[in-house]
Amino acid sequence: MDGKEKSFSVTEKITSRKNPGVIAACALSDKKNRDKSGLFSAEGIKLLRELCDEKVDIEKVFCTSRALEKYADTLCTLSCRIYEVTDEVYDKLSSEQNPEGIFAVAKKTMVYAKASETPGSGGFVMLDRVQNPSNVGTVIRTASALGVSRILLGEGCADIFGPKTVRAAMGALFKVNICITDDICREIEELQKGGAEVFAAALDENSEDVAQVSFSHNDCLLIGNEGEGISEKVLALCKRKVIIPMRQNTESLNAAAAAAILIWEKQKGTKA
């Protein structure tokens, strides 16, 4: 290493793709293994730095020799185990097309089971059965960027700790408070009892142009499944519905793109 010596040491050099630690890290691509271990993985230097900035508990990091050299300034701030791995071993860990050679394993951050227990202020962005992990991650990233502090995911949504979701969220996962519920209807009813309006994004004859709505601080946005929208039983609970005006004969936007517009309009249209 050039310049001043960086104050970190490598726990072990791993040369076998059958190493138990490598196998366990690879297994985190499966939700049941993430749930059982309470761990998730994050690949790339940007995500590692986000984990550090948000004080997420990092258990271990796997690095190629090039990454050890290139990212020494970040690695020297870590208190976890650091493993050097060969390129062949890293290929087993990585799901990236152009990997940076750095793969972290960390403890899952706190999630909440009820909206009423979820810290933060203002209304929720709520997702009903949004199954694509990249869409879920992008919605979280967009919501965080636009000042939303709370996200609620109903049953059937992609796992927030899945590799594709973590990658798409790009650190925003650790900047917002997330509620995961198996009964989104109950949570909607509780929020409504507390005075919040839940605006459903839906094609309906009574839907309002989202840009024309005057939102209150605690109002929520509800976005549905990529192909089917919001389920009928959930939609029936929502007294108000919003749409994004679009040209005729235009394909509908995907969940992440629609959410970005809806969240922007909601934040812009919220009364002080």
Whether residue 5 is contained in a domain is answered as no
Residue 185 inside a domain? The answer is: yes
CATH number at residue 37: 3.30.1330.30
In Å, how far are 127, 164, 207, 214, 247 from 200, measured between CA atoms? 10, 26, 9, 15, 20
pLDDT, tens digit, for every residue of 235-266? Answer: 999 999 999 999 888 888 889 999 999 999 99
Taking alpha carbons only, the member of 22, 178, 171 closest to residue 86 is 22
pTM: 0.93
- Which tens digit of pLDDT belongs to each residue from 198-220? 999 998 888 999 999 999 999 99
Task: Please indicate, yes or no, whether residues 187 and 57 belong to a single structural domain of this protein.
Answer: no
What three-state secondary structure class fits 10?
coil
The residue segments making up the domain with residue 220 are: 115-268
User: Which of 62, 83, 107 is at the close of a domain?
Assistant: 107
User: Of 79, 107, 135, which one is at a domain's C-terminal end?
Assistant: 107
Domain match, 261 and 126 both: yes
The count of structural domains within the chain is 2
Last residue of a domain, one of 78, 107, 136: 107
* Amino acid at position 114, single letter: K
